[in-house]
Amino acid sequence: MLSHSNSVERRTVLEAKTLRKMGCNVLLLCRTLDDRPLVEMTDGLLVIHLPGKTRCKIPSAVLPMQEWIAKAISLIPLEAHCVPPGTRISPPTYLQREPVDIPSDIFKVHFDVYPLNLWEAQVVELALAIGDIDVVHMHDFEALRPGIFVAKRLGIPTVFDVHEIWAYIPLFHDKIQNRAHIFNLEALFIPHCTQLVTVNKQFAEIIKRDYNYDRIGIFTNTTERPSGFDVRKRYDYIRTRVPIPHEHKIMLFVGNVSPLCNIDPLLIGMATARPDLDMVFLTAGVYVPLYRELAAQLGIGNRVHFLDIVPWSEIPLWCASADVGVMPYQAISTSMRLSSPNNMYDFIAAATPIIGSSELVNVAEIVGGEGFGLLAPLRLPADYMKLINDMFDESLGGPERFHKAMVEKGDKYLLDQEIRPFTTMYRTLLNSLNVELALQQSRT
């Protein structure tokens, strides 16, 4: 598996866990921007963190990069279930390898114009050094180039895991990452993917339309409950960390905060809503100080709390410690309108009623259709204020009126159910390669 993310995402862990249950060996090569260990075990998954942004030509003879990769290989445990002992290559053998060949003329032209950056180059070099790989699973847009490079070099299939439809997201990056560049890049590489998997049927339809590609499976942004979790019980993780008055209700947002998450109108709307509400953000990111200051300016600083994000496996416990889960997102882009927010599945797992926008297609289908919460078009602060007040209106039954439906119907949106198409897709792919699977208890 390849991922350009600086953290090991829940989706990646759950897929790897599923593949291991099917008898596969899984190794994740991802990016790091900090001082994380080069090799570590995360949620049962062996992870190698490779750094860098600087662009470099391939083949490369830059000694520091070779030393880094040689060290990574030397640190892979011989007994690791996800790297069979026979595939381990010692540093001296690796350092004597011939330079990597560009896979084909069309890709050679591409890589001449857009050379592999440092992270991509290290992914290619390390993957080719390991060598005994059956499938390259590429998580999202940034992993597509090195993944296809490796697959073409080794003659193996690929799975492109589309978390987002990046060509439809408003971007604030440098000019290399504009919509046209992303579209052209995906148009070049997607036809060479053996299989795609994405988060919902709407994303799949756009991919099929834009790239004339239909080998697409669906695996949602689902989650699983912690061991021993009782969906009928309410927990107290938030109140043990934050001095919230007993008579106040708690609203919770989970995830990084930014202007694209529409936090501004949420806080402005909250400032004019009923005063017995506290807003908790389980979050991180550079915008936290900005929103803390905004809350203070609105006079609600004492009722708005920012807590550090916790491991994904613990999030349902925190969600079950709130009265309502908040998804403030607006339908400001195609990607957002069709999104399947991660925190929607966290709130469902916890049976915590949800407020969100009725203009988000999958939120309307699941939250609205199943009776998991209250939705309305969200555009202005007044929309947020009204939705908040309506959710907590005791004459209508308050948030508790949604709890029964979430307890009774929530399970079908959790991992055990949602993983089935992914399992079927991989079983078909691996069987086509005559890979012998040990299916254990994961038959679905």
What average pLDDT does this structure show over 339-361? 98
Q: Which two tokens stand for residue 60?
A: 């490369």
Q: Which two tokens stand for residue 204?
A: 């799949």
| Higher pLDDT pick, 116 / 227 | 227
Q: Which residues contact 160 (CB under 8 A, 6 or more apart)?
A: 138, 144, 147, 189, 190, 193, 195, 196, 197
Does 1.20.58.220 match the CATH number of domain 249-413?
Answer: no
Does pLDDT of 181 surpass 90? Answer: no
| pTM: predicted TM-score of the whole model, two decimal places | 0.86
**What's the pLDDT score for residue 70?**
60
| DSSP H helical ranges for 307-380 | 315-319, 334-337, 342-350, 361-363, 369-370
From the candidate CATH numbers 3.40.50.11610, 3.40.50.300, 3.30.1540.10, 3.40.50.2000, the one assigned to the domain spanning 2-219+419-432: 3.40.50.2000
Chain Cα centroid distance, residue 332:
20
Provide the strand spans (E) within 102-206: 136-139, 158-162, 195-198
Closest C-alpha among 406, 433, 430 to residue 18: 430
> What are 149-160's pLDDT values in tens digits?
999 888 899 999
Does pLDDT of 390 surpass 60? Answer: yes
Tell me if 55 sits within 8 A of 176, measured CB to CB. Answer: no
Does pLDDT of 177 surpass 60? Answer: no
Q: 330: pLDDT confidence band, cut at 50, 70 and 90?
A: very high
Tell me if 168 sits within 8 A of 206, measured CB to CB. Answer: yes
Q: Which residues contact 33 (CB under 8 A, 6 or more apart)?
A: 6, 51
What average pLDDT does this structure show over 400-428? 96
DSSP H/E element including 146: helix 144-154
Provide the strand spans (E) within 348-414: 354-357, 373-376
Q: 57: pLDDT confidence band, cut at 50, 70 and 90?
A: very low
Q: Is 249-413 in the same CATH topology as 2-219+419-432?
A: yes
In whole angstroms, give the CA distance from residue 189 to residue 211: 10
What average pLDDT does this structure show over 70-92? 42
Does pLDDT of 95 surpass 50? Answer: no
Tell me if 356 sits within 8 A of 377, measured CB to CB. Answer: no
Does pLDDT of 224 surpass 80? Answer: yes
Q: Which two tokens stand for residue 305?
A: 């709390």
What average pLDDT does this structure show over 232-242? 96
Tell me if 285 sits within 8 A of 306, measured CB to CB. Answer: no
**What's the pLDDT score for residue 71?**
57
Work out the angle at residue 79's Cα, subtended by the Cα atoms of residues 74 and 80, and round it to the nearest 5 degrees: 80
**What's the pLDDT score for residue 104?**
62
Domain boundaries, the chain: 2-219+419-432, 249-413
Residue whose structure tokens are 């055990």 = 416
